[in-house]
Every structure is written in C-alpha cells, then in structure tokens.
C-alpha cells in the first residue's frame, strides 16, 4: 500500500464521454523508488488522488493489470475533478492507497445462477474491474448501466466487446434517448422478473451509483432474499479509518475502511444508508 502521496506520470488519457475521462498511470516507478510492498488491488478499492495546490479526493480504481498500470475514471463535477480533467499525458498526480475493501464475489458453478451488476453513471468505474473478475471466474452475469441520457453512456464499446457469450449488457436512459426508457431500478425489476420466470436464480447483485438507486436496489433484493453489495460514497479526509468523517450510524462502520463496498448484512444495520451523509465539517445532512 502507498501510504504517503507519491507522484505518478499519466501515461494515457481516454475521453469516455463529454464529462468523463479515464487516466492511466504505471506505478512501478513508485514501487521501485520507495521500496513499497505490492499487493494486487481488489475490484472496489479506491485511491486518494492528490492534485497539488487544489485538493485530494477519493477515486475508485477503474482498472489495473499485471503490468501495474492502474487507472481511474473521473467525472467532472467540481474544482478538483475539473483540474484533473484538464491534465495532459505526462502530467503528474499524487496517489496513495489502495484503501477500503473490495467486492466479495460469491462463487457458484451451476449455470442457471447469475450475478447482476448495476452501475449508475460514473458508478460504473469500480464495476469495470469487478466485471473482468467475474468473467475470469466464468460466472454468468448481466450488466445494467443506467444514465440520464445517451451522451452520458460510458464504457459501452468496452463492455460490448467484452461481454460476449454468457453475458448480457443493458442500458437504461431516464429520457429514453437510448435503450430502455426509465430508471436503472425499473429495468432491473423487469429483468429479474424475466430471469426468475426462466428458472434462473440471482445469486448476487453488485452495484455502485447514486445512493437512492442503491437504496432501492437493496430493498428489492431484500424482498427477494438476494445478497446485495453496494459501493458507498461519503466525505473522506484520511481514507484509512482515523478521522471518523465517513462513519455510518449507528454501527460506526467506516466507509473508507470497512467499506466502501458494504453488503446486505451491514446495510441492514445502517440507518444512514439512503438517508444521511456528512459534509466536510462533519455536519449531518439529509441526502
């Protein structure tokens, strides 16, 4: 784990949509220069990304490989992400991490069982390495990407190329400009109905996206007795469990450490989930 922010050079930038870019960098230089012990990241883990002079913000790993090329996929929403957005190849950014836990994959081998992955907008980022892992494990999956409108669709080409035989890829748009018209949760509801009718068993649902979406998915899964995992967002300072800013009530679960991926068992105990978060001062607000 990289504990102190270390600078890496951006080696590749891919524009995914108008407001989303993926940045790739190789971390071998950091590992060698500072003799840092390396462990492969798990899908769902995140970095604290430092843009000197601006801010340091949490970003999920949207990719990593054996070459130790890591990537983050950034949506432009404010000052720090906008500055990141304007960086060019060879520019430096600071990283520390990876922090948090990743997605726990429930393994099973019967071929009428499946795993559904639901991403809302930029929430697709941490799901990309998860999808790769599921495919590697030959687990049958359905991927749902929900966005507001056609222009916001990301990773479409990548997923269409990747998801070939046992996998299905659906897109929903709120305005109906592409694919299913409506929310990802509605699409999810209609898909699981069909799958259950076909005699398939949904073993696990994995998700990242707006909390309201995950909250609804969680409740649908609770009714149907399906294991759910969602990657949550909370304000973060330390990213490793010290400051307490990202704590969920009343269990004291730290999103940066016991999370960001939390499963049904934990989510059942979190009255904050879907309802409250904290701002940078620590003040609790309604979501």
Partner 1 sequence: MSEFFKKIAEKPFILASGILGVSYSSMKRIFEGGAGAVVTKSIGPILREGYKNPSIIEILPGTFINSVGLANPGIDNFISEIKELKRNNITTIVSVFGDSIETYTQVAVKAQDAGADAIELNISCPHAEISIICQNKQLTYDYVAAVKKELKIPLIVKLSPNVTDIGEIALSAEKAGADAITAINTVNAMVIDIETQRPILSHGSGGLSGKAIHPIAVKKVFNLYKIVRIPIFGCGGVFTGEDAIEFFLAGASAVQIGSALYQDYNAITTIINIAKKYLEVHNYKSFSDIVGNAHGFETQEVPDF
Ligand X SMILES: Cc1cc2nc3c(=O)[nH]c(=O)nc-3n(C[C@H](O)[C@H](O)[C@H](O)COP(=O)(O)O)c2cc1C
Question: Would you say 48 or 213 has its CB closer to partner 1?
Answer: 48
Distance between CA atoms of residues 173 and 185, nearest Å: 11
Residue 18 corresponds to which tokens in the numbers above? 């108008």
Distance between CA atoms of residues 213 and 203, nearest Å: 19
Residue in 113, 241, 264, 268 binding partner 1, rule: CB under 8 A? 241
Distance between CA atoms of residues 87 and 73, nearest Å: 13
Q: Which of residues 206-245 bind ligand FES (CB under 6 A)?
A: 236-239, 241-245
Query: CB of residue 178 vs ligand FES: minimum separation in angstroms?
Result: 36
Query: CB of residue 147 vs partner 1: minimum separation in angstroms?
Result: 29
CB atoms inside a 10 Å sphere around CB 274 = 19
Residue 255 contacts partner 1 per CB under 8 A: no
Task: Count Cβ atoms within 10 A of the Cβ of residue 76 and give its class: 0-12 exposed, 13-18 middle, 19 or more buried.
Answer: middle
39 binds, among partner 1, ligand FES, ligand FAD, none (CB under 5 to 8 A by kind): none
- For the CA atoms of 91, 92, 97, 101, what is the dihedral angle to 10 degrees? -20
Q: Which of residues 252-281 bind ligand FES (CB under 6 A)?
A: 254, 256
Residue 252 contacts partner 1 per CB under 8 A: yes
- Residues contacting ligand X: total by CB under 6 A: 2
Residue 243 contacts ligand X per CB under 6 A: yes
Q: Based on C-alpha coordinates, what's the Rg of the chain? A: 18
Residue 229 contacts ligand FAD per CB under 6 A: no
Bond prior to 98 in cis (omega within 30° of 0): yes
List contacts with ligand FES (CB under 6 A): 236-239, 241-246, 254, 256
Contact positions toward ligand X, by CB under 6 A? 242-243
């Amino acid at each position: 784990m990289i504990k102190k922010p270390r600078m890496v050079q951006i080696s590749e930038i891919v524009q995914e949509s108008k407001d989303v870019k993926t940045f790739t960098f190789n971390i071998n230089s950091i590992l060698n220069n500072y003799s840092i012990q390396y462990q492969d990241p798990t899908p769902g883990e995140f970095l604290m990304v430092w843009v000197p002079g601006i801010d340091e913000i949490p970003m999920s790993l949207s990719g990593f490989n054996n070459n130790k090329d890591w990537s983050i996929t950034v949506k432009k929403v404010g000052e720090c992400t906008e500055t990141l957005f304007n960086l060019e190849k060879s520019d430096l950014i600071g990283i520390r991490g990876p922090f948090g836990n990743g997605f726990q994959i429930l393994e099973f081998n019967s071929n009428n069982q499946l795993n559904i992955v639901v991403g809302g907008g930029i929430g697709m980022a941490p799901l990309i390495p998860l999808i790769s892992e599921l495919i590697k494990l030959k687990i049958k999956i359905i991927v749902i990407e929900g966005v507001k409108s056609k222009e916001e669709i990301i990773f479409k080409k990548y997923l269409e190329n990747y998801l070939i035989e046992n996998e299905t890829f659906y897109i929903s748009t709120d305005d109906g400009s592409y694919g299913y018209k409506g929310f990802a949760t509605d699409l999810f509801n209609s898909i699981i109905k069909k799958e259950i009718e076909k005699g398939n068993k949904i073993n696990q649902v994995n998700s990242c996206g707006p909390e309201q979406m995950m909250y609804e998915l969680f409740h649908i899964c609770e009714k149907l007795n399906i294991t759910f995992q969602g990657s949550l967002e909370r304000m973060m300072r330390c990213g490793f469990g010290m400051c307490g800013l990202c704590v969920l009530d009343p269990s004291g679960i730290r999103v940066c450490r016991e999370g960001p991926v939390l499963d049904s068992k934990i989510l059942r105990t979190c009255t904050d989930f879907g309802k409250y978060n904290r701002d940078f001062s620590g003040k609790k607000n309604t979501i």
